[in-house]
Amino acid sequence: MLFDYTTVSATGIGDTITEVLRRADAMVDRIVDPGVTFAFETTLSVLEDISDLLATTYGQTAFMGYVHPDKEVRDAGNAAEERLQKWGVELVFREDLYQAVKAFASTPDGKALEGEAARLLEFTMRDFRRAGHELSPEVRAEVKKMTERLVELSIAFQRNIDEHRDHLIVTRGDLTGLADAYIEGLEPGDDEGTLKIGLSYPDVVPFMENATRRDLREQLSRKFNSRAVDTNSGLLEEAVALRQQIATLFGQPSWAHHQLEEKMAKTPEAVHSFYRSLIAPLTEKGRDEIVVMEKFLAGDGELGPLQVFDFRFYETQLRKRDYGVDNVAVAAYFPLQQVVDGMLALTGEVFGLVYKPVNAATWHPDVITYAIHDQETGELLSHFHMDLFPREGKYSHAAAFPLVPGRLLEDGSYQQPVASIVANFTKPGADRPSLLQHSEVETFFHEFGHILHQTLTKADMVRFSGSSTENDFVEAPSQIMENWTWRPEVLRRFARHFETGQPIPDQLVEQLTAAKNLNIALNSLRQAQFGLLDMWLHDDSQDKNVESVLRRSVEVSLFPFHEGTFFPASFGHLFGYDAGYYGYLWSEVYGDDMWSRFADEGVTNPDVGREYRREILERGGSRDGMDLLRNFLRREPNNLAFLAKLGIGTESPS
C-alpha cells in the first residue's frame, strides 16, 4: 500500500516524528536492557528494524522538505530531517548500545555470522569506532556536538539554495536567438513589456546556449553562480572547519582521510593520482577545444579569452556548424511522455521488467507513479514516483530519493521498495508538450539508473538496500544508463516529432551521436574542477580558504575565474558528498567498463541485461563494489573504455 501524501500537513509531520522517535527509543531500550541475552535477534535485527522505521518515516516526512508545494510543510519536512538525523547521531554515540553490540560480537554466534549478517556486524562496529567509542568520553562528546552541528548546517545549506529567488529582467528584444516557445514560457516582469529569466534549469540552460547577447549571458551566469552566497558562504566555511576538527580528534590528517575509509578509493592520494592521470592529457585537448570556440568569439567581434559564460553558447554554435545539431530542433523529437515510454520500454526489455501506471495519492498533481513487475513471473517488485517540473521552493536539481527500503521481512516476504525521481524539466506549454533537450534525456536516464538500483534491490538488510553502496561506486549504475541515450538504434525507438509524429531522421541521429564527444576534454575538466574543489577543501592541504581554493580549482577548468561569483555557496554536493564528489568521475570509469559488455554483446541483449540486474542492481551494497564488478564483468575491472572515450590513450588497465 503506497503512502497517501495528500494527508500530509506541517502539524502531522511534527507529530509523526515525535511518535516515531518515541518508538525508536523504546526499541533501543530493548537492546540495552541488562536482562536481555545477546543475540542477533536482540541486537542487530532490532537495529535493522529501527533503520527501516526511520527510512520509511523519512520518505513520509523529511522528503516533503524537498518537494511539497506548501512552504509550511516544506519547513516541517526540513525540521523533521534535522530531528531524524540528530537522533541517528545520538544513537551511534550511545555507550550502552555500543557495549551491547560489542558483547554480541564477542559471542560464538556473533563470530559465526556469515553473509550479509556478518557484513552488518562489521559495518555497525565500524560505525561505533567512527563515532569515537575508542576515544575518551570527553573527546567523543566533542565529536558528537560537532556532528550534530554538521547536520544543522547541511539542512540549512540546501534549504537556502532551494528557497533562493532571483531573476534577470529582459525585454523581448533582448532575446535574439531564443525560440518562441521558450519566450512564451517566461514569466512577465513587474514592468510592462518585461520578462523574467529565472534561475531554474529550464530557464537558464536554453538562455546560456542560445542568447546572442553576451552581456546578458554574463549577468545570468553571475546570478546563477551567486545563489545563496549571503546565507551559505559562512555555513560552508564553518562546515569545512568542523570536519577538519573531527578528523584531528580521530588522529587523521584530514577529513578526506577520515571519510575515504568507507569508500573504494580508500585514500586522498588515490584520488589525486586518479586526477593526475587525466588532467595533463585532458588539458592539452581542452586548450585545443578552446581555440576552436575562440575563433567563433572573434568572429562575433568579441574580445577573448573565452569565458565560462561563453562556453554553452559557442559549444551550441559549434554543434550546429560542424554536426548540424540544433539543440532546440532536436528537442522537438523528445516530448517528455515519449521519452518516458521509450525509457520504460527499453529497460523493460533489457532488464526483464513490466511497468504499469498507478493512481497514487501524491504530493502534487504533476507527480506520476508506476509499479514495476517482473516480466517472467508477473511479481510486483516495487513502485516509483516521478516529479519532473520546477516549482517554487522545490529541490532545484535532479536526484533520486529512496522512500521505502527493500528488505527481507521476518515472515520471509520482501518489503517492496518505493523511490522517487525529482527533476526540473521544461513544463508543457499551452500548445505543446514538455520538450526535452538531449542533455535532459541523458539526465533522465541517469536518474532512472538510481531508481532501478533502489527499486530492484534484493538485499536482505536495509543497511545494504538499493543504492547503499560505497559512495564512489553509487554513481556507476546511473552513469552506465547515459550510454543508451547515444545509441542510434535506441533513439530511433522513441524519438518522434511532437507535431508530425515523424521519427527522428537518421541523419540527425547520426549527427547527434557523432557530436557526443564534442568538447569532452573541457567537460571532463569541469568535473575534475568540482572534484578537486571538494578534495582540496577536505584533504591535508594547508589552504582552507574557500575563495582561494575555488580560484585554484577554476584553473583546472581552463576558463578564467568569473569575478564576483561564488559557486560553492550553491554547490549542494559539498554536503553529503563532502570529500566524495570525485566519485562521479571515478564511478564513470566503472560505468563505462560495465557498458563495454553491452557494447560487445548487444546494447539491448536481455541476457546481459538480466545478468546486470542480478549481479549489480539486485545486490545493492551487500558486497563490495569491486566484487560486484568482477562478477558482472567476469574479469578484473579496468579503465580502458573510459580512456578510449576521453580520447587520451589506452594505457595499461588500472
List, by residue number, the catalytic residues: 447
Q: β-strand 418-422 against 380-387: which pairing, if any?
A: parallel
CA distance 104 to 566: 50
Q: Cis peptide before 357, with omega less than 30 degrees from 0?
A: no
Q: Which amino acid is at 645?
A: K
Q: Is the torsion defined by CA of 621, 627, 631, 632 positive or negative?
A: positive
Q: Would residue 183 be called left, alpha or beta, if left means φ above 0 and alpha means ψ between -120 and 50 degrees?
A: alpha
**Which residue, 116, 4, 16, 118, is CA-closest to 61?**
16
Reported as half-sphere exposure (CB side, CA atoms, 13 A), residue 480 has a value of 26
- Residue 408 contacts by C-beta under 8 Å, 6 or more apart in sequence? 414, 415, 460, 461
Residue 486 in grid coordinates:
547515444
Q: 279: how many CB neighbours lie within 10 A of its CB?
A: 18
Residue pair 199/187 in contact (Cβ under 8 Å)? The answer is no
Burial 627-652 (b: 16+ CB within 10 A, else e): ebbeebbeeebbbbbbbebbebeeee
What Cα–Cα distance (Å) separates residue 571 from each residue in 232, 275, 387, 396, 578?
A: 10, 20, 22, 11, 11
In this structure, how many other beta carbons lie within 10 angstroms of the beta carbon of residue 130? 17
**DSSP H helical ranges for 174-307:** 180-184, 201-210, 214-224, 229-249, 255-260, 268-299
In Å, what is the CA distance from 30 to each residue of 42, 219, 462?
Answer: 8, 59, 20
Strand 194-197: give its sheet, edge to edge.
Answer: 168-171, 194-197, 187-188
State the burial class of residue 533 (Cβ atoms within 10 Å of its Cβ: 0-12, 13-18, 19+): buried
- Which residues, in sequence order, are bridge partners of residue 504? none
Q: How far is CA 272 from the centre of its chain?
A: 22
Does residue 10 sit in helix, strand or coil? helix
Compute CA distances 367 → 69, 387, 525, whole Å: 12, 5, 35
Of 608, 303, 355, nearest in space to 484 by CA: 608
Strands laid side by side in the 399-404 sheet: 353-358, 368-374, 380-387, 418-422, 399-404
CA–CA distance from 594 to each of 166, 232, 351, 459, 582 (Å)? 42, 38, 15, 21, 19
Residues 6 or more apart whose CB falls under 8 angstroms from that of 580 comprise 259, 263, 471, 472, 534
Instruction: Tell me the Ramachandran region of residue 291: left when phi exceeds 0, alpha when psi lies from -120 to 50, beta otherwise.
Output: alpha
Grid cell listed for 268 = 586522498
Q: Give the H or E element holding residue 414.
A: strand 414-415
Which amino acid is located at 404 in the chain? V
